Chain A
Amino acid sequence: MPERRTAVPVTFDGEDFEAYDDESVLQAARRNGIAIPALCYLEGLSVWGGCRVCVVEVAEDHRLRPACATPVKADMEIKVHTPRLDSYRKSILELLFAEGNHVCAVCVSNGRCELQDTAVEVGMDHVRYDQQAPARKVDASHAKYVFDHNRCILCTRCVRVCDEIEGAHVWDIAERGAGSEIIAEMDVPWGDAKSCTWCGKCVAACPTGSLFYHGKAVGEMEHSADIIRVLASARGKGEWLSPEVSL
């Protein structure tokens, strides 16, 4: 017997909306058609709360809360757009762009990139911080896919989708802080990772041009994170194999 969800009133930027008490603030907002930018959140995967792009303010205090990891409560007054929040989101995007080597003009995902789209959405038009220009590797050892660590923002979507949906757990994060990187198994080249099933879910889930198919040129790579959403949550929602969903 599934537990009944209770509808509770909340406000987003002063407007009244209905949310369910088992939702996160981000889920409630998206269901009501309110856009909150987010990078590490992917419906159907566990909540990571690492990118901090989805921060919102809740009226009871002035702490910034990640919308993806904040449960809805009745009569919550949520602010999505304030000058402070907008400037913080912009800063986060600038820091992400300064940390890796994100050169859209030569990227396989140019024009179809969640990171790029989010930067546009929050109005980031230049980077005020020094570019770190790290020397990161490109792992093209896999016969089907390529992992370019220069474009990785460590959102861990690939780690979570591989662990939670595919059940292989090929990926994880090694090291710490600024030295963190995604590794396959014992830091082996992807092509040598015996636990990889070649399913491609990590590639589908990637929000940047970090994971892509061999042979894709600039602007040719299209990620389809929606596939992951369907795989993970469509059955529960009664959307499984419905005509609108084509894999």
Chain B
Amino acid sequence: MTTTVEDQPEPKAGSHPSGDDRFGLVDKALKRTRYEQHALIEVLHVAQDVFGYLDADILMYVARALRLPPSKVYGVATFYSLFTFEAPGDHSCMVCTGTACFVKGADDVVRDIATEFDVPEGGTSSDGRLSLTTARCIGSCGLAPMVLLDDEVLGKLGSEEIRQRIRDLLATEEEVA
């Protein structure tokens, strides 16, 4: 089950003692799981959905609420690759590097995107516009090489075509802005 910011009702401004109402959504998850220590991972998922990433303040907030040692919470959060500790970019680009996509040149796709948009693999570009991640098999090997650009699935495209789609996406956003 995933909870997104959109699913949650808008909290009243200034209703959380920390001054950041997003913690109210974390509180809700804590209460729903009755502050059980074994619900740590579930609460961390909610916190990441709410904030977009986890930082030391958020982890410490969860650790205090669940009465867990900070090092334990930090250890759990860093163990799982689905938790991220940097703010994500405006757009995300996930390239599948599973076996079929590898055969179809996923490595080149990743390298080309990283070079053209100056974004490190597994990181975000310095202007915060694009995040590049890789995944091990999304399960649609018939579409190799597969790329997920935000929520759009791009399949069977070459490196140049994929990069054109990213250019278009980043360009439309700039026009709006």
Contacts and interface: CB of A to CB of B under 8 A. Distances in A.
A172 B69 contact: yes
Contacts of A173: 75
Interface string A177-216: 0000001111100000001000000000000000000000
- A163, A172, A175, A195 — which one has the most chain B CB atoms within 10 A of its CB? A172
A187 B69 contact: no
Interface string B44-77: 0000000000001001100000000111101100
A186 B72 contact: no
A170 B75 CA distance: 12
Contact of B71 (A172, A175, A176): A172
Nearest to A194: B70
A186 B69 contact: no
Interface in B17-69: 56, 59-60, 69
A174 B78 contact: yes
A71 to B, nearest CB: 26
Contacts of B75: 172-174, 183
Given A169-B69, A172-B69, A195-B69, A185 B79 contact: no
A186 B59 CA distance: 8
Interface residues of B, number: 11
A91 B60 CA distance: 40
A97 interface: no
A186 B71 contact: yes
Q: Is the interface of A mostly helix, strand, loop or mixed?
A: loop
A195 B70 contact: yes
A185 B79 CA distance: 15
A169 B56 CA distance: 17
The binding surface of chain B is classed by DSSP as helix
A20 interface: no
Residue in B60, B78, B79 whose Cβ sees the most chain A Cβ within 10 Å: B78
A175 B59 contact: no
Contacts of B70: 185-186, 195
Contacts of A145: none
A41 interface: no
A156 to B, nearest CB: 11
Nearest to B71: A172
B64 to A, nearest CB: 12
B74 A183 contact: yes
Contact of B79 (A168, A169, A175, A195): A175
A147 interface: no
B79 A186 contact: no
A137 B69 CA distance: 23
A172 B59 contact: no
A187 B72 contact: no
Contacts of B56: 186
Interface in A103-119: none
A12 interface: no
Contacts of A195: 69-70
A174 to B, nearest CB: 4
Contacts of A168: 69
Interface string B102-122: 000000000000000000000
B71 A169 contact: yes
26 contacts: A168-B69, A169-B69, A169-B72, A170-B69, A172-B69, A172-B72, A172-B74, A174-B74, A174-B78, A174-B79, A175-B78, A175-B79, A176-B78, A176-B79, A183-B74, A183-B75, A185-B69, A185-B70, A185-B71, A185-B74, A186-B56, A186-B59, A186-B60, A186-B70, A187-B74, A195-B69
For the complex of A and B, 5 pairs with smallest distance between CB atoms: A169-B69, A172-B71, A172-B75, A185-B70, A174-B78
